[in-house]
Amino acid sequence: MDIGEEIRADAERGAQRLVAEFWDRLYGASLILCKDSHAAEDLVFRTFAQAILKIDQYNPEQPFWGWLYAILLNYFRGDLRKMKAEVADEADCGEIAACMEGEPGAESRLPELDAEVVRRAVANLPPALRETVVLRYFEDKTLQEMSKLMDVPVGTVKSRLHLARRGLKRSLEEAFKWKGEKT
């Protein structure tokens, strides 16, 4: 029985399976997008709740992960819109706005581990570029799959990937120079 059928048949058991099968993967993606463990957990829980609530909208001919990830992205984008609106209303929130826009140097201390350096470089990208990197390099999505999930043309996906790679290259070059290593 697929997970959609199980949730329809027994919501509680289906929810347990949903969390067991998708928690790690969804939380990992959410953590990269949100840059905060509490916000990432909240995003994952809201995604699970929405998936259970809207299970009748799931098309079993499509991959369940893609449908679930689309819900996560929609919540993430909604949260960004709300946060930007709140920041616009508050004059003393320049630091938050800098982090939201992914400006370099928003976090002052570079970590010692290379994997952490890469994670932070991704986290400092603007949200649209960060989504693109997560889908392509962490989720191994094709350009067409990314286009569908992000609801943008393939050309936009290519452009965002190009901009993300350029931004990551700059960030990583700076990080490794700071650590005294060559890139």
How many secondary structure helices (H) and strands (E) does the chain include?
9, 0
pLDDT tens, position by position, 86-112? 554 443 334 333 433 444 443 333 333
Model pLDDT, residue 172: 78
Model pLDDT, residue 44: 93
Domain that holds residue 178: 102-183
Same domain, residue pair 108 and 90: no
Same domain, residue pair 96 and 172: no
Same domain, residue pair 139 and 87: no
Model pLDDT, residue 133: 87
Confidence category of residue 57, pLDDT binned at 50, 70, 90: very high
Q: Are 41 and 17 in contact (CB under 8 A)?
A: no
- Express as a percent the part of the chain with pLDDT over 70: 77
Same domain, residue pair 88 and 3: yes
Q: How many CB atoms lie within 10 A of CB 178?
A: 10
Q: What is the CATH number of the domain that holds 123?
A: 1.10.10.10
Model pLDDT, residue 176: 67
